[in-house]
Structure 1
Amino acid sequence: MAVKDDGVALNLDPDSARRRAQVRRAALASSIGTTIEWYDFFLYNTAAALVFPHLFFPASTPYAGAMASFATYAVGFVARPLGAAIFGHWGDRIGRKATLIVTLLVMGISSAIVGILPGTAAIGAAAPLLLVLLRLVQGLAIGGEWSGSVLIAMEWGDQRKRGLLGSFAQLGVPMGLVLGTGGMTLLSATLSAQQFNSWGWRIPFLFSLVLVAVGLLIRLSILETPMFAKVTEERKTARVPVVDAIRQHWREILLSAGLRFSEQMPFYLFTTFVLIYVVSRHEFTRTFVLKAVLAGAVCELFAIPLFSHLSDRFGRKRIYLTGSVLTGLIAYPYFAVLSHGGAAPIFAAVVISLFIHGLQYGPQAALIAENFPTHLRYGGAGLGYQLASVFAGGPAPLIATWLLHKTGTPYAISAYIVFAAVVTVGCGLALPNRSQVDIDDAAVYSR
C-alpha cells in the first residue's frame, strides 16, 4: 500500500522496511503521547486527594472538602464523552495524526495553567470555578486522545498482533501514573508539608510543557495510518461519522461502556481514593501510600503487554473477563487488608490490585476498537470507551466517600466493586468476539 506524505507516494507494503519503521514510530507515538496525557490527568487526581481540599475549599470540613474536591475531579470525566464526540468527528474526517496533535496541545496547556492557578485565599470564589473549567478542558482532551492513540498503532501493524499493538496506548496509563505519582511522591518526601502545599505541588504541572514539546516532535514524525489513508483515497469518509457511529453501532458503544465498569471504576479507587482512606485509618504518611501506588503502576508496565499478547493467542474476551472476575473476588479482601493490615500487607494489596487491573486494561483497547469499521472507528470506539467515565470512573471516589460516610463500613465499597464486575461480565458475554476478524474489511460489520 502507498501512503502519501506531502504529496510523495511512499512504499509501505506489509514487508517493507519503511513500513516496519513506521510501525515502530507509531507505537512509540502512541505510548509517549498517552503517557503525557495521563501524566497530566493523574497529577490532578493526586492533587485532588492531597492538596485541593484545603487550597480551593478551605472553609469546608474534611469530609465536605474531600467531596467538593472529588466533585471537581468528576467533572473531567463528564467532559470525556463530549471530547470523544468532538475529536472523534475530526479523527474520522481528517485523520488520526492531526487530531492527536491538537489533543496533546490542549491537555498540556490546560495542565500548565493549573500549576499557576491561585488558591481561594488569593482570588476568592474564582479559584474553584477556574479549577472546574480547566478540569473540563482536560476531560475534553483525554476524551479525544484515547481512540486516536490506539488506532495510530493498531491500524499500522500486523493484524495478528492487534492486542499487543493496541496496548502501547494503554501503557500510557501506568507510565503517566509512574511519572505523575512519582513526581508527587518525590516532592512530598523532600519538601516540608508547608512547602509542598504552597508551591511544591505546582512543579509537576508546569513540567507538562516540557513533556508536550517531546510528544509533539514524535507525533509530527508519523504518517497517517494505511487503513484511514485507504478510506480517504476511496472517498469513504463519513460526513457526520459520530452520528453514523451512534446510529449504526449503538449496541457496541453501550456494551463497550459497560465492559469498562470493572476496569475503570475500581482503578480510581485503587489509585485515588486509597490515598485518603489509608492515611485516615492508619498513621501511615501519604508518601507511603504514594509509593505503593507507584510500585503497582510499575507492575502494570509488565502486566499490560503480557496480557495483551496473551489475548492475541487465546482471545481477548477470555483474558479480559478473567480479570473482571478476579477484580470482584478481591473486593472484600482488599478493604479488609486496608482497614486492618500492617504496612506490608497494605503495600501488597495496592500492588496486587493494580496488577489485576492490567489484566483487563491491556486487551481492552483492541477489544473495543475492533468492533467498529475504519471510517467510524475513532468516534465509535472513543464514545464507547469514554461513556463509562460518566457512570463508572468519574463518580467512583465520590460515591466511595459517600458510602463510607453513610454506612461506616468500607465493605459497602466492596459491594460497589462487585456490582461493577457483574456489569462487565454481562456486557463482555454479549459483545461479539472479533479477535480474529480482519478489521480492514468494513464489510464484516455490515448489518
Structure 2
Amino acid sequence: MTSHQPEHDLSANSSSTTEAEKHPIPEFPPTPGNVTKEHRRVLAGAMVGTTIEWFDFFIYAQAAGLIFAQHYFNPAANDRPGLAQIVAWASLGISFLFRPLGAILAGHLGDRLGRKPVLVLTLLGMGGATVLIGVLPTYESIGIAAPLILVLLRILQGLSAGGEWGGAALLSVEHAPVNKRGLFGAFPQIGVPSGMFLATIFMLVIAATLTPEQFESWGWRIPFISSLVLIAIGFWIRRLVGESPVFEELEALARTESAPLSILIREHRKPVFLAAIIFAGNNAAGYMLIAYFMSYATKVLGHDRPTVLAVSLAASVLWGISTLGFGALSDKVGRKRTFVWGYIFAMIWAVPTWWLIDTGSIVWYAVALFVLASMLGASYGPQSAMYAEMFPAKVRLSGVSIGYASGSIIGGAFAPMIAALLLESTGNTTSIGIYIAAVCAVSLVGSLMVPKGIQERSLH
C-alpha cells in the first residue's frame, strides 16, 4: 500500500511543475492505513499546539466576561455597566476579523521563509500578546491608553491564530483510511475543548485560592503571564515538528493544496460559502459555553465563581469526548447526517437552555451546559473530514482555512456581544436562545446543501 500523496494538477503550467519537482512530497514507509509513527507524533504535536493557542484565546474570553468591563472600559462601566460589558465582548470578537488576514500572511510568509519560521512567529505573536495583556496597566492607571493597547494586543492574537488549523486538519484527514477520516480529523478539533479545559482549570484554582478582591485586583493576570511557560513548551513542540519528515509534507501540502484567494472565490465560492455558514452555528453556541454563560451566572445570577468555573471545566471534558465520539460516528452514519442531527438538536435545545439557567439553581445550570457540550461534538468532530471532502486537492488548504475563519466571524466572533445586546434591550434571555437557534438553523441549511456522496470520494 502506498502513502497518500497530494496529486498535482496536470493542467498546471511548466513553472508550477518545476516547483513541484524541486520540492517533491516525501515518501513514508507504508503502514496499515498509511499513517506512520511520524504522522502520529506530529498530529499529537499539532493537537498540543492548538491547545496552547486556544488556551490563550479562552483566558481572554473568560477575562472579558469577568474582568475587562470594570478595569479597562471604565468610562462606560461608571455610567452603564451593561454597555461596558458589551464593549468588552466586542474586544473579544475583533480578533476574529483578522484571522483570515493572518491565514493569508502566514501562507505568503511560508512561501518565502518556510513553514518553520512562520510557526515560530505565530507562537511568539500569540503568546507574547497574551503575556503583555497580563502586565497591561488598567484604565485607572493609564487612562484611555489601556483599552486601546488591549484591543491592539487582541488583534495581534487574531493575526497569529490564523494560519495553523487548516494544515493540521488536512494532514490528519488525508492520511486516514477512508472509513476513519472522521475519527482522525477529530484529533485537531480536540485542541478547542482542551484549551478550554486548561484555561478553566487555571482560573478555577486561582479563584478558589484567592479572595474575590485579590482575583479581580491581580489574580486574573496569572494565567496570562504563565503563557511564558507555554511559549517554551510550544517551542519544544515546534522543534519536534521541524525535525520530523512529516514537516516536509506540511510544506508540500501548503504548495499543492493552496491557491490565491481570487481563484478560490472565483472558481470555488460555493463550498467556501457553505463551509463558513456550516461552522457558524457551532461557533456561536460554543462561545456561549466558553464565555457568556460564565459571565451571566456570576454577574446576573450571583453564583460563586469557583462553582461556575468547575461546571465549565466538566463541560469542556464532555465537549472533548463528544468531539471524538461524533467524529468516529460520522464514519459510520455519514458526516452530513451527523451535522444535521447536531444542528436540529441545537435548535431545539437553545431556548430550554436558558429556562434551566434562569431557574437560579446551579444544578440546572450544570445540566444545561452539560447537554449543550455533549451535543456540540456532532457539528464539530466531523468538521475536518467534511471540509476536506468538500474541496478539490488543488485548493483544499485555502478553501478549508478561509471557510473556517469566515465561519468564526459569522458565528462566534461577536456572539457574546450580541447576546449582551439582546439582554440589554429585551431584558430576557429567551431572545438569546432564539438568536442561537436562528444561527444554527442557517448552519443546518448549509449542512443540507452539502452534495451527497462526497464522503466516499478520493482526496487525491
TM over 0.5: yes
Amino acid in structure 2 at the alignment position of 1:220: R
Shift of 1:99: 4.3
Note closer, same or farther for the CA distance 1:243–1:224 as it changes in structure 2 (3 Å cut).
farther
Q: How does 1:48-59 map to 2 (within 5 A)?
A: 48-59=64-75
Q: Give the conservation status (yes or no) of the 8 Å contact 1:96–1:224.
A: no
Given the alignment of the two structures, is residue 116 of structure 1 paired with residue 135 of structure 2, yes or no? yes
Look up the match of 1:42.
58
Q: Structure 1 residues 93, 356: CA separation in 2 closer, same or farther (over 3 Å shift)? A: farther
- Give the corresponding residue for 1:127: 146
Instruction: Note closer, same or farther for the CA distance 1:220–1:160 as it changes in structure 2 (3 Å cut).
Output: farther
Letter aligned with residue 28 of structure 1: A
Of 41, 45, 50, 1:29 maps to 45
Q: 2:303 aligns with which of 257, 267, 284?
A: 284
Once residues 241 and 384 of structure 1 are traced to their aligned partners in structure 2, the CA distance between those partners, rounded to angstroms, is 14
Cα distance change, pair 8–391 in 1 and its aligned pair in 2 (3 A): closer
Count of aligned residue pairs for this structure pair: 435
How far, CA to CA, are the matches of 2:249 and 2:331 in structure 1?
A: 20
Q: Distance in 1 between matches of 2:33 and 2:173?
A: 18
Aligned to 2:283: 264
Report the CA distance shift for 1:215/1:9 in structure 2 as closer, same or farther (over 3 A).
Answer: same
Summarize deviations over 1:59-104 as a string: whole Å, max 9, x none.
3232121011111111112112222332245568877666444322
Q: Which residue matches 1:349?
A: 368
Q: Give the aligned residue type for 1:45.
A: A
Which residue identity is paired with 1:118?
Answer: P
**Alignment partners' CA distance in 2, 1:237 and 1:425:** 28
2:316 partner amino acid: A
- Whichever residue aligns with residue 457 of structure 2, its letter is V
Against the structure 1 CA distance between its residues 309 and 237, is the aligned structure 2 distance closer, same or farther, given a 3 Å change threshold?
A: closer
Task: Find the residue that maps to 1:133 and give its secondary structure.
Answer: helix
Alignment of 1:396 with 2:412, yes or no, is no
Where does the alignment leave 5 or more consecutive residues of structure 2 unmatched?
6-19
Q: Note if contact 2:167-2:253 (Cα within 8 Å) is conserved in structure 1.
A: no
Query: What is the CA-CA distance between 1:265 and the residue it aligns to?
Result: 0.6
Cα distance in 2, alignment partners of residues 347 and 17 from structure 1: 40
CA deviations over 1:302-341 (Å, ceiling 9, x no partner)? 1111110111222111111111111101011100011125
Shift in Å, 1:251: 0.9
Which residue of structure 1 lines up, in the alignment, with residue 448 of structure 2? 429
**Residue of structure 1 equivalent to 2:161:** 142
Structure 2 equivalent of residue 444 of structure 1: none
Say if 1:228 and 1:31 are closer, same or farther in 2 by CA, change over 3 A: closer
Q: Does the aligned pair in 2 maintain the 1:228–1:375 contact within 8 Å?
A: no
> CA–CA distance in 1 between the matches of 2:137 and 2:287?
26
Shift of 1:282: 2.5
Deviation at 1:237, TM superposition (A): 6.8
Structure 1 unaligned blocks of 5 or more = 441-447
Question: What is the aligned partner in structure 2 of residue 443 from structure 1?
Answer: none
1:445 paired residue number: none
Structure 1 counterpart of 2:430: 411
Match of 2:212 among 190, 193, 200: 193
Residue identity matched to 2:351: Y
For residues 156 and 443 of structure 2, the distance between their equivalents in structure 1, rounded to whole angstroms, comes to 29
Aligned-partner SS, 1:259: helix
Match for 2:306: what amino acid?
Answer: T
Kindly provide the amino acid, as one letter, of the partner of residue 437 in structure 1.
R
3-state SS in 2 of match to 1:214: helix
TM-score, length-normalised on structure 2?
0.87
Question: CA 1:99–1:315 in 2, change beyond 3 Å: closer, same or farther?
Answer: farther
3-state SS, counterpart of residue 457 of structure 2: coil
Do the aligned partners of residues 107 and 94 (structure 1) sit closer, same or farther apart at CA in structure 2, a change above 3 Å counting?
A: same
Residue matched to 2:8: none
Q: Could you tell me how far apart the structure 2 residues matched to 1:27 and 1:258 are?
A: 27
Q: d(CA) in 1 for partners of 2:375 and 2:293?
A: 16
Counterpart residue type for residue 145 of structure 2: A
The letter for the 2-side match of 1:435 is Q
TM norm structure 1? 0.90
Contact 1:87 1:379 (8 Å CA) reproduced: no
Q: 1:100 to 1:428 in 2, by over 3 A?
A: farther
Match of 1:207 among 220, 226, 241: 226
Secondary structure of 1:438's aligned partner = coil
Cα 1:310–1:18, aligned 2, differ >3 Å: closer, same or farther? closer
